[in-house]
């Protein structure tokens, strides 16, 4: 068993690298093929033509496309993602710095949204044909239909500006800084800053697991083995939790991959609403400023996070469903 | 197709959805009748700029910080929203259906290549890619539509393909094949009509996705500066500090409109879903 | 005194189109230590009857009248809480589609342990031991307990379902189509095993099926059900040899008989009545080759014609003549009325 599972993980990692390579290539082409001077963000208006040409040469932008591509590939593989036009520092350094903030926010939100969503979904299924359901479903649909940045704006306006319960931006109070990741995670100031963006993202993401879990529960509760469990004289709560919910959960976990896909998009938006210093905010700033190396690096890292989360979801699913074996995949 | 009406009759939600669509379409078309202002117009009364006016009187929802009427913007905002929504949804459904039919019908390496393509797309986060592409292509409404159509087709394609695979084995397709129908005829005449309901289902879902995406892209500042969309209004409000000055009249209504239109799409698609994948537990 | 006595039991389903009585005034007795077969076509109410006995009906079903007396207690009148001690400990069920009655995400052994410890109150160790014994009892390899349901064949799953049903030594086992989904060889083994178990465990079995050959092979007594009512009861041998109800005669005609092979099988034409609006009079009359005027007007009661022999037919006394006529294919093609 162990050998085949290692092989499967290796396969998936290879697949992941393939996707990353495709993305990197697309990005490379996009940024190189854009009209206009690629260095427009970097160049000071006081630069002379002479200096501009020198700069272009320095960045290797006068080389034939395929040569640039190879250089780009080699550099990326070794972790060198170039230099930011705007910040004039290493892109890798910049994106790496921002990564923890994005991870905390996105991963935290996805996990909480899934837990809350599945519990609420199971609850709604249990309360079938009651008033709870007739109110619950439209509310769930409404939350799914509401733009996440708008929800964020409302939360911000109400809880940060109208009632000053929570700070309105950033990860730390003005002037303060965190000495280490651990200190950051455990500091109450950080948690206060984290609350509103986290809640916003959770509200946005919980809709899918909720509706899916409810739908699955309703199906599973009609299944023969659930009826059997009742005949066996097992208590209702046990049937709901250990039999119905456990089986209903499986397709919800496969939906995890789907949620991951748009959780990062949601994260980008939320980071911008709350000025949360993460990859999303960095990406938007970089694209707006036409800072191509930085935009590229930020996007690559975001894509890598997405793919890793997908991988994790697959692992969880295989662990939960005994009918699926590594070998079959 | 006759079932379509039946769905609307039985499912109150689907009916509500259609009514909402009708309402917004009516508002979009009748915008000049509903408001005497222009959405971009900065309004003066005498010498004074009517900025940040509270709701009431001439300005039903108040004005922005540069004196533009919010209600006018809201009403005119229905136009880009619905345009983006329906056009993008149409293309998503079209591309997805075509790909799904081709992949399902031909199978073999065509299928493998197309599905691999969809799989690869699966790993890429949608909104970040849209941002990058729109920045590349330029911030116009049509570029946003194009980008979405290019990226959102995979769900539709996958489901259509599954349907085509089951259809392929069915009697009438075999019969047509035996009678010598060309592949194109088979696909067009026999298979396409049968996957139409699925295409419509995902089409109505795609309307919602498209509107939400456009709103997000506009909010982040990459939207079409020529059109006042609801997303644009929200961005405008945000950067004009409407949040801290408590101008709820400015930033709440556009969000509600977006929410209602997207919900309408969900309701309709739920009605179709019942039709396509009926649950046997209607007791 | 029977183990379980059903008195005028009525079970209704609420549907969008109205109320239908799937079980309409059933009176039946299951004796201690016997295998009683209940036969009838799909939709006649036999499954509903089985589920009513164990009091697990679908959401829209309910017991609308009558009694189910088990050990002196009317089960139909019990509350949910009062009923629970009976489930699995006194009355157990092997349901239709036993394949699907096992939870796919739990190991077989865990599913045994669950019912043994929670409903049965055994310790984990005792439960483990008992699970092993149960496997031996039904002829299932003990090693299967460590695996998952999807790893078992159809026959094994059926054995597992039977073993689970017997876990708490119930006095009555309700087996709903226990062998329908299996091939004939496996069928034979399982049915034989059921009979043996009945002997060794002094168990009573209500065997529900649409296949009268299964009844012939396994049951001591049999009851025939049609459109929610019992139409014939008696010792299996006698019912087969001397059927009293035209429906039973028709059933015999439509199944192959090795002893008296017919040239062609004669099906019973037509369909059972709509239970939302059952016709007045005998429910079988529209399809019956021997129906006469009174059959359309008055529903025949279930009468004891001889000790232990019951039939619900106005013309039951003429059964001998009718049996002869029932062999003629011609009679079955055109209804009598």
pLDDT at residue number B109: 81
Range from A51-55, A124-128, B89-93 carrying the lowest mean pLDDT = A51-55
Between CA C3 and CA B264 the distance in angstroms is 59
CA–CA gap between residue C43 and residue C61 (Å, rounded): 15
Share of chain C above pLDDT 70, in %: 98
| Cβ contact A154–B238 (<8 Å) | no
The answer on pLDDT for B3 being more than 60 is no
Which residues, listed in sequence order, are joined to residue B44 by a DSSP beta bridge? B49
Lowest-confidence range among A198-207, B11-20, B260-269? B11-20
For residue A263, the distance in angstroms to the closest alpha carbon of chain B comes to 8
B248 chain-A contacts, CB cut-off 8 A? 157
ipTM of the complex: 0.84
Of C89, C95, C148, the CB nearest to A228: C95
The structure tokens listed for C101 are: 């009655």
Q: Are C244 and C311 in contact (CB under 8 A)?
A: yes
Residues of B in contact with C15 (CB under 8 A): 283
From its phi and psi, is residue C177 left (phi > 0), alpha (psi between -120 and 50) or beta?
left
Q: Please state, in angstroms and rounded to a whole number, the distance separating the CA atoms of residues C7 and B275.
A: 43
What mean pLDDT do residues B199-213 have? 86
Report the neighbours of C using a cutoff of 3 or more CB pairs below 8 angstroms: A, B
C121 at B interface, C-beta within 8 A:
no
Burial pattern C163-192, b for ≥16 Cβ within 10 A else e, equals bbbbbbebbbbbbbbbbebbeeebbebbbe
Q: How far apart are CA A233 and CA B97, in angstroms?
A: 49
Mean pLDDT: which of B21-30, B173-182, C180-189, C194-203 is highest? B21-30
Arithmetic mean of pLDDT over chain B: 81
- Please list, in sequence order, all residues whose beta carbon lies within 8 angstroms of the beta carbon of residue C291, skipping any fewer than 6 positions away: C282, C284, C285, C335, C336, C337
Token pair in block for residue C136: 């031996």
Nearest to B128 by CA among A100, C296, A307: A307
And the tokens for B108?
Answer: 């073999």
Alpha-carbon distances of A118 from A115, A200, A259, C142, C189, rounded to whole Å: 5, 18, 13, 37, 45
Report the percent of chain B where pLDDT is more than 90.
12
Q: Are B100 and B161 contacting, i.e. CB atoms less than 8 angstroms apart?
A: yes
pLDDT for res B4: 58
The Cα–Cα gap between C221 and C272 comes to 24
pTM of the model: 0.78
CB–CB contact C87 A232 (8 Å): yes
Supply the pLDDT for residue A59. Answer: 66
Structure confidence at residue C6 (pLDDT): 93
pLDDT digits (tens, 9 = 90+) for C247-280: 998 888 877 777 667 667 777 878 888 888 888 8
Token pair 């002037």 is found at A175
pLDDT for C4 equals 92
Scanning every residue of chain A, which has its alpha carbon at the shortest distance from the alpha carbon of B137? A34
CA atoms within 13 A on the CB side of A192: 12
Assess A40–B contact: CB distance below 8 Å, yes or no: no
CA C74 to CA C55: how far, in whole Å?
12
Give the gap in angstroms from C-alpha A126 to the nearest C-alpha of chain C.
13
Specify the long-range contacts of residues A17-20, CB closer than 8 Å, at least 24 apart. Answer: A18/B120, A19/A303, A19/A307, A19/B120, A19/B123, A19/B124, A20/A300, A20/A303, A20/A304, A20/A307
Supply C139's token pair: 């002829």
Please tell me which residue, A19 or C160, carries the higher pLDDT value: C160
Give the integer Cα–Cα distance in Å for C175 and A198: 54
Q: pLDDT, tens digit, for every residue of C316-332?
A: 888 888 888 888 878 88
- Do the Cβ atoms of C164 and A232 come within 8 Å? yes
Kindly determine whether residue A284 and residue B131, on different chains, have CB atoms separated by under 8 Å.
Answer: yes
Chain B residues whose C-beta sits inside 8 Å of any chain C C-beta:
282-283
What is the distance in angstroms between the Cα of A183 and the nearest Cα belonging to chain B?
A: 30
CA–CA gap between residue C275 and residue C279 (Å, rounded): 9
Do C101 and A246 lie within an 8 Å CB cutoff? no
pLDDT digits (tens, 9 = 90+) for B45-82: 777 777 888 888 778 888 888 888 888 889 999 998 89
Mean pLDDT along residues C237-245: 91
| pLDDT band, very low/low/confident/very high, at B5 (cuts 50, 70, 90) | low
Q: Of B49, B61, B213, give the one whose Cα is nearest residue B129.
A: B213
The string of DSSP letters for B215-235 reads: HHHHHTT-S-TTS--HHHHHH
Strand-pair category, C35-39 with C303-306:
unpaired
Handedness of CA B272, B275, B277, B280 (dihedral sign): positive
What is the rounded CA–CA span in Å between residue A152 and residue A193?
13
Q: Look at residue A104 and tell me whether its pLDDT is greater than 60.
A: yes
- Which residues does C1 contact at the CB level (< 8 Å), separation at least 6? none
What mean pLDDT is reported for chain C? Answer: 88
Residue B34: Cβ-neighbour burial (10 angstroms; 0-12, 13-18, 19+) = middle
Q: Specify the higher pLDDT residue, C98 or A217.
A: A217
Q: Residue B219: its chain A contacts at CB < 8 A?
A: 147, 149, 269, 272
Cα–Cα distance measured from residue C219 to residue C212, given in angstroms and rounded to the nearest whole number: 10
- pLDDT tens per residue, range A137-188: 889 889 989 999 999 999 998 888 877 788 777 777 766 677 777 777 778 8
Residue of C nearest to A243 (CA): C103
CB contact under 8 A, B123 and A303: yes
Comparing B16 with B188, which gets the higher pLDDT? B16
pLDDT, tens digit (0-9, with 9 covering 90-100), for A183-202: 777 788 888 888 899 999 99
Token digits of residue B201: 């289902």
Any chain B CB within 8 A of the CB of C185? no
Phi, psi (deg, nearest 5) at residue C229? -125, 155
Contact C95 A234 (CB under 8 A): no
The three-state DSSP-derived secondary structure of C53-104 is HCCCCCCCEEEEEEEEEECCEEHHHCCHHHHHHHECCCEEEECCCHHHHCCC
Nearest CA-CA partner of B192 in B86, B91, B92, B94:
B94
- Considering only the beta carbons, identify the residue of A231, A235, A243 that sits closest to C103: A243
Residue B127: is its pLDDT beyond 80? yes
Max mean pLDDT range (A36-45, B4-13, C32-41): C32-41
Residue A42 confidence (pLDDT)? 60
Tell me how far apart the alpha carbons of residues B130 and C2 are, in angstroms, rounded to a whole number. 75
Evaluated on CA atoms A222, A224, A226, A232, the torsion sign reads positive
Rounded to whole angstroms, how far apart are CA atoms B100 and B155? 10
For chain C, list residues whose CB is within 8 angstroms of any CB belonging to chain A: 54, 56, 84-85, 87-89, 92-93, 95, 97, 100-107, 114-115, 118-119, 148, 150, 164
Nearest CA in chain B to C15: B283
**Does the distance separating the beta carbons of A265 and B263 come in below 8 Å?**
no
Helix (H) or strand (E) holding C158: helix C154-166
**Contact criterion met (CB < 8 Å) for C101 and A228:** yes
Output the pLDDT for position A327: 42
Cβ <8 Å between C15 and B283? yes
Q: Check whether A4 has a pLDDT greater than 60.
A: no
The three-class DSSP label of residue A297 is helix
Neighbouring chains to B with at least 3 Cβ pairs closer than 8 Å: A, C
Contacts of A224 in chain C (CB under 8 A): 95, 97, 100-101
- Percent of residues, chain C, with pLDDT higher than 90: 42
Task: Round the average pLDDT of chain A to a whole number and report it.
Answer: 81
Query: Once rounded to an integer, what is the mean pLDDT over residues C283-304?
Result: 89
Out of A214-218, B2-6, B132-136, C34-38, the most confident range is: C34-38
C59 and B283 within 8 Å at the Cβ level: the answer is yes
Inter-chain CB proximity A264 and B127 less than 8 Å: yes
The answer to whether residue A328 scores a pLDDT higher than 70 is: no
Number of B–C residue contacts, CB under 8 Å: 7
State pLDDT tens for residues A260-287. Answer: 778 888 999 999 999 999 999 999 998 8
Q: What is the pLDDT of residue B1?
A: 44
- Compare all CA atoms of chain C with the CA of B283 and give the residue at the minimum distance: C15
Contact A264 B258 (CB under 8 A): no
> For chain B, which residues lie within 8 Å of any Cβ of chain A, measuring from their own Cβ?
120, 122-129, 131-133, 135-136, 208, 212, 215-216, 219-222, 231, 234, 237-238, 243-244, 246, 248, 251-252, 254-255, 258-260, 262-263, 266-267, 279-281
């Amino acid at each position: 068993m162990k050998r085949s599972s290692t092989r499967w993980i290796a396969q998936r990692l290879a697949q992941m690298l393939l996707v990353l390579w495709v993305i990197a290539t697309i990005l490379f082409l996009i940024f190189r093929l854009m009209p206009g001077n690629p260095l427009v963000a970097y160049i000071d208006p006081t630069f002379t033509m002479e200096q501009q040409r020198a700069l272009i040469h320095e960045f290797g932008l006068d080389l034939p496309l395929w040569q640039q591509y190879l250089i780009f590939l080699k550099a990326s593989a070794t972790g060198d993602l170039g230099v930011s036009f705007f910040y004039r520092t290493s892109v890798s350094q910049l994106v790496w710095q921002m990564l923890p903030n994005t991870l905390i926010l996105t991963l935290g939100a996805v996990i909480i949204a899934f837990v809350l969503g599945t519990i609420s979904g199971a609850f709604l299924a249990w309360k079938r044909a009651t008033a709870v359901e007739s109110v619950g479903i439209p509310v769930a649909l409404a939350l799914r239909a509401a733009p996440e940045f708008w929800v964020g704006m409302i939360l911000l306006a109400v809880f940060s500006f109208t009632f000053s319960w929570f700070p309105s931006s950033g990860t730390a109070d003005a002037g303060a800084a965190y000495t280490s990741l651990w200190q950051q995670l455990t500091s109450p100031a950080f948690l206060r800053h984290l609350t509103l963006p986290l809640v916003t993202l959770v509200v946005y993401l919980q809709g899918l697991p909720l509706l899916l879990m409810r739908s699955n529960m309703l199906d599973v509760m009609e299944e023969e083995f659930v009826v059997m469990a009742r005949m066996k004289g097992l208590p209702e709560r046990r049937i709901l939790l250990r039999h119905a919910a456990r089986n209903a959960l499986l397709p919800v976990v496969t939906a995890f991959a789907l949620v991951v896909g748009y959780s990062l998009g949601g994260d980008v938006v939320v980071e911008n609403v709350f000025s949360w210093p993460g990859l999303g905010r960095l990406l938007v700033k970089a694209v707006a400023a036409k800072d191509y190396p930085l935009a590229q690096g930020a996007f690559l890292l975001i894509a890598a996070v997405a793919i890793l989360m997908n991988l994790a979801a697959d692992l969880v699913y295989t662990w939960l469903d005994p009918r699926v074996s590594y070998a079959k995949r | 197709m006759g079932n379509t009406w039946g769905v609307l009759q039985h499912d109150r939600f689907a009916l509500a959805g259609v009514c909402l669509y009708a309402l917004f379409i009516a508002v979009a078309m009748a915008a000049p009748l509903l408001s005497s202002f222009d959405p971009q117009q900065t309004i003066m009364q005498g010498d004074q700029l009517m900025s940040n006016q509270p709701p009431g009187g001439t300005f039903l929802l108040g004005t922005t910080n540069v004196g533009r009427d919010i209600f006018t913007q809201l009403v005119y905002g229905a136009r880009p929203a619905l345009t983006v929504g329906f056009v993008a949804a149409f293309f998503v459904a079209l591309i997805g259906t075509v790909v799904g039919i081709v992949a399902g019908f031909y199978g073999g390496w065509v299928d493998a290549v197309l599905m691999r393509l969809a799989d690869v797309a699966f790993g890429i986060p949608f909104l970040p890619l849209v941002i990058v592409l729109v920045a590349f292509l330029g911030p116009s409404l049509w570029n946003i539509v194009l980008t979405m159509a290019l990226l959102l087709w995979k769900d539709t394609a996958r489901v259509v393909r599954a349907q085509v695979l089951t259809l392929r084995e069915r009697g009438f397709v075999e019969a047509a094949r035996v009678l010598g129908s060309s592949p194109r005829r088979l696909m067009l005449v026999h298979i396409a009509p049968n996957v139409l309901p699925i295409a419509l289902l995902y089409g109505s879902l795609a309307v919602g996705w498209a509107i939400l995406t456009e709103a997000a892209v506009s909010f982040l500042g990459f939207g079409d500066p020529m059109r006042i969309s609801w997303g644009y209004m929200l961005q405008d409000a945000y950067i004009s500090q409407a949040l801290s000055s408590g101008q709820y009249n400015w930033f709440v209504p556009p969000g509600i409109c977006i929410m209602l239109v997207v919900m309408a799409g969900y309701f309709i698609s739920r009605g179709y879903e019942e039709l396509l994948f009926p649950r046997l537990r209607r007791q | 005194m029977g183990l379980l006595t059903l008195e005028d039991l009525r079970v209704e389903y609420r549907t969008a189109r109205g109320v239908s009585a799937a079980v309409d005034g059933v009176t039946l007795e299951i004796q201690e230590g016997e295998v009683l077969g209940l036969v009838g076509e799909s939709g006649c109410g036999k499954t509903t009857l089985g589920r009513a006995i164990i009091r697990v009906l679908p959401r829209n079903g309910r017991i609308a009248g009558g009694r189910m007396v088990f050990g002196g207690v009317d089960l139909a009148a019990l509350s949910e809480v009062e009923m629970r001690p009976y489930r699995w400990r006194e009355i157990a069920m092997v349901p239709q589609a036993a394949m699907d009655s096992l939870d796919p995400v739990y190991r077989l052994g865990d599913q045994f342990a669950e019912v043994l410890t929670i409903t049965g109150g055994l310790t984990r160790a005792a439960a483990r031991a008992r699970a092993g014994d149960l496997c031996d009892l039904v002829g299932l390899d003990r090693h299967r307990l460590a695996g998952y349901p999807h790893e078992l064949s159809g026959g094994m799953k059926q054995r597992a379902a039977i073993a689970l049903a017997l876990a708490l030594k119930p006095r009555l086992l309700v087996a709903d189509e226990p062998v329908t989904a299996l091939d004939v060889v496996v069928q034979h083994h399982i049915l034989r095993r059921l009979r043996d178990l009945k002997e060794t465990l002094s168990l009573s079995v209500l065997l529900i099926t649409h296949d009268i050959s299964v009844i012939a092979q396994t049951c001591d007594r049999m009851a025939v059900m049609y459109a929610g009512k019992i139409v014939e009861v008696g010792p299996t041998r006698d019912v087969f040899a001397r059927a009293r109800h035209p429906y039973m005669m028709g059933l015999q005609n439509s199944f192959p008989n090795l002893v008296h092979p017919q040239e062609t099988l004669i099906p019973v034409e037509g369909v059972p009545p709509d239970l939302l609006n059952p016709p007045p009079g005998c429910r079988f009359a529209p399809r019956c080759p021997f129906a006469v005027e009174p059959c359309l007007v008055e529903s025949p009661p279930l009468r004891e014609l001889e000790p232990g022999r019951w039939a619900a037919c106005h013309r039951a006394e003429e059964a001998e003549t009718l049996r002869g006529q029932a062999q003629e294919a011609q009679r079955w093609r055109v209804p009598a009325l």
